[in-house]
Amino acid sequence: MPATKQQQLTGWGNFPVAECATYRPEKQHEVGNIARQHGGSLIARGIGRSYADASLQPEGVLTTQRLDHVIAFDKQTGLLTAQAGMTLADIMAMAIPEGWFPPVIPGTRYVTLGGAVACNVHGKNHFREGDLAEHVKRITLTLADGSRATCGPEEQSDLFWATAGGMGMTGIIEEVTLQLKRIESSSLKHHIYCVDTIEEMMAGFAAHRDSADYMIGWIDHMAKGDNLGRGLFSAASHIGPHEGGQTLATFKPQKTKLYVPIFFPGFVLNRYSMALYNRYRFGQYSKTPKDEIVGFDGFFHPLDSIGNWNKLYGRRGFFQYQCMIPECANVTAHVREFLALLQEKNLFSFLGVIKYHRQGVGQMTFPIAGYSLALDFPNTARVRELLPSLDAWVANHGGRIYLAKDGLLSPEHFYAMYSNAPAWKALLERFDPKAKFTSLMSNRLQWKTYSPS
């Protein structure tokens, strides 16, 4: 069994920081040995792109970084089996030239397959393709006793759906078999225009949901009053070479153009500097729709071109707060109310992203039919004091918080948001009766100890 190494670890939000006993297995068979022989609690970790405490456990962290190999890839069918430590970036570099693409891709390509399944990630096409787990054929999992189990939607489905979105509570994902989707070029047709209000923004989602492959809105959080929700609506679809798309053979993975070598001083990112940035960003477009041919990286992962961009928020770190607001007759009014609540509390977000979702699949899946809002807040005492009031608003409106980004949710709000959680907890007690797999997140949310009234 590999020796442990004491290491300071944190999530992508740089808060909290924990001193963890860390395993870094080189071979896949070592994973079961570690699970059997490690005496305390244990949690799996990929490359640390969940935002807060989901992959932190002082007693033991097993990182899959070196378990990152392709096991099998059928170029005719697009069926990929890979170790859990392989990143989406590596999958894209390998699969795109062969005419295949991840069916679901989150806002960064630097996530591992195992982490993507554990968080059941979603992308800008959730309204069409759903969550990642809906495209997973099977996974191989190391259980608490060190044994291996294979499960999927049609094989031990209870274990599979307890694992997809289960944040590492059922075991350590070793292998994932994923169905990729066919593409004809490495380009998208991008349709983008300015909107003046949140009502115009949401009208854009309604108008394009039957025709676009992907949709996203960027919100200028400086806008107030009648202009609340002002920003850019963006829709995109895959195209072929005959429509102007770049041939697959010319695809080259994006290179990092700029690195942030140190933590920036806290005063650099503020509402005034971000107002200038928003003015520049939104000034590039008008209310007249613009159609353009774009590459994958610029549309899916604009921030990936900046290495260590999380350091822009300073050493204190930040929270990315992503919530769902359910679709209903008054959903537009609810989104406006939520944005107004942020301004009323003087909670300024450096980032504002809105997406449309269909109902997700699985007990612990984040999306429900409706709209998600993703917002960035600096880690300050005032923000930590006020975010629970946003949680209460979201819970009272039937919404929920994305666990992959959460850092402050309370057990009470969690159980109010995730109605399937009691049934999921019963499965955890069955698959991990001695609570081998825990994290700082699971301890905070009392997943293996708390009983909602």
Mean pLDDT of the chain: 94
Between these two residues, 363 and 265, which has the higher pLDDT value? 363
Q: Which two tokens stand for residue 363?
A: 């007990």
> What would the mean pLDDT of 446-452 be, rounded to a whole number?
70
Query: How far apart, in whole angstroms, are the C-alpha atoms of residue 381 and residue 266?
Result: 14
pLDDT tens for 263-321 read 888 777 777 777 777 777 778 899 999 999 999 998 999 888 888 988 988 999 999 99
Q: Which domain holds residue 250?
A: 187-410
Q: Is residue 134 part of a domain?
A: no
Query: How far apart, in whole angstroms, are the C-alpha atoms of residue 353 and residue 442?
Result: 27
pLDDT tens for 114-157 read 999 999 999 999 999 999 999 999 999 999 999 999 999 999 99
Residue 142 Rama label (left phi>0; alpha psi -120 to 50; beta): beta
Confidence category of residue 95, pLDDT binned at 50, 70, 90: very high
How far is the CA of 417 from the CAs of 270, 370, 414, in angstroms?
32, 14, 5
Q: Which pLDDT score, from 0 to 100, does residue 369 have?
A: 98
Confidence category of residue 102, pLDDT binned at 50, 70, 90: very high
- 3-state helix vs strand vs coil in the chain, percent to 5: 30, 25, 45
Q: What φ, ψ does residue 187 adopt, rounded to 5°? A: -135, 160
> What would the mean pLDDT of 41-51 be, rounded to a whole number?
97
Q: Is residue 209 part of a domain?
A: yes
Q: Is the pLDDT of residue 451 over 60?
A: no
Q: What is the CATH number of the domain that holds 287?
A: 3.30.70.2520
Q: Which two tokens stand for residue 297?
A: 């990286």
> What would the mean pLDDT of 46-59 be, rounded to a whole number?
97
Q: Which one-letter DSSP state was computed for residue 249? A: G
Q: Which two tokens stand for residue 304?
A: 């990936």
Q: Which pLDDT score, from 0 to 100, does residue 450 have?
A: 44
Q: Is residue 275 part of a domain?
A: yes
Confidence category of residue 452, pLDDT binned at 50, 70, 90: very low
**For residue 133, which of 108, 157, 98 has the smallest C-alpha distance?**
157
Contacts of 126 (CB under 8 A, 6+ apart): 104, 355, 356, 357, 358, 360, 367
> What would the mean pLDDT of 69-93 be, rounded to a whole number?
98
* Amino acid letter for position 414: F
Q: Is residue 303 part of a domain?
A: yes
Q: Is residue 171 part of a domain?
A: no
- Count of structural domains within the chain: 1
Q: What is the length of the chain?
A: 453
Measured CA angle at 353 (ends 401, 52), to 5 deg: 45
> What would the mean pLDDT of 344-373 be, rounded to a whole number?
93
Angle of the 198-208 helix axis to the 331-344 helix axis, nearest 10: 140
Segment holding 93, helix H or strand E: helix 88-95
Query: How far apart, in whole angstroms, are the C-alpha atoms of residue 199 and residue 202?
Result: 5
pLDDT tens for 160-205 read 999 999 999 999 999 999 999 999 999 999 999 999 999 999 999 9
Contacts of 56 (CB under 8 A, 6+ apart): 9, 10, 11, 16, 18, 20, 43, 439, 440, 441
Q: Is residue 298 part of a domain?
A: yes
Instruction: Report pTM.
Output: 0.95
Query: How far apart, in whole angstroms, are the C-alpha atoms of residue 222 and residue 228?
Result: 8
Query: How far apart, in whole angstroms, are the C-alpha atoms of residue 328 and residue 337?
Result: 14
Q: Is residue 156 part of a domain?
A: no
Report the percent of the chain where pLDDT is more than 70: 99
> What would the mean pLDDT of 245-272 be, rounded to a whole number?
82
Measured CA angle at 390 (ends 412, 278), to 5 deg: 150
**For residue 104, which of 136, 68, 69, 75 has the smallest C-alpha distance?**
136
User: Which of 23-27, 154-158, 250-254, 341-345 is predicted least confidently?
Assistant: 250-254
Q: Is residue 402 part of a domain?
A: yes
Contacts of 396 (CB under 8 A, 6+ apart): none
DSSP 160-204: HHHHTTSTTSS-EEEEEEEE-EE-S-SEEEEEEEEESSHHHHHHH
Query: How far apart, in whole angstroms, are the C-alpha atoms of residue 367 and residue 358?
Result: 7
3-state class (DSSP) for residue 149 = strand
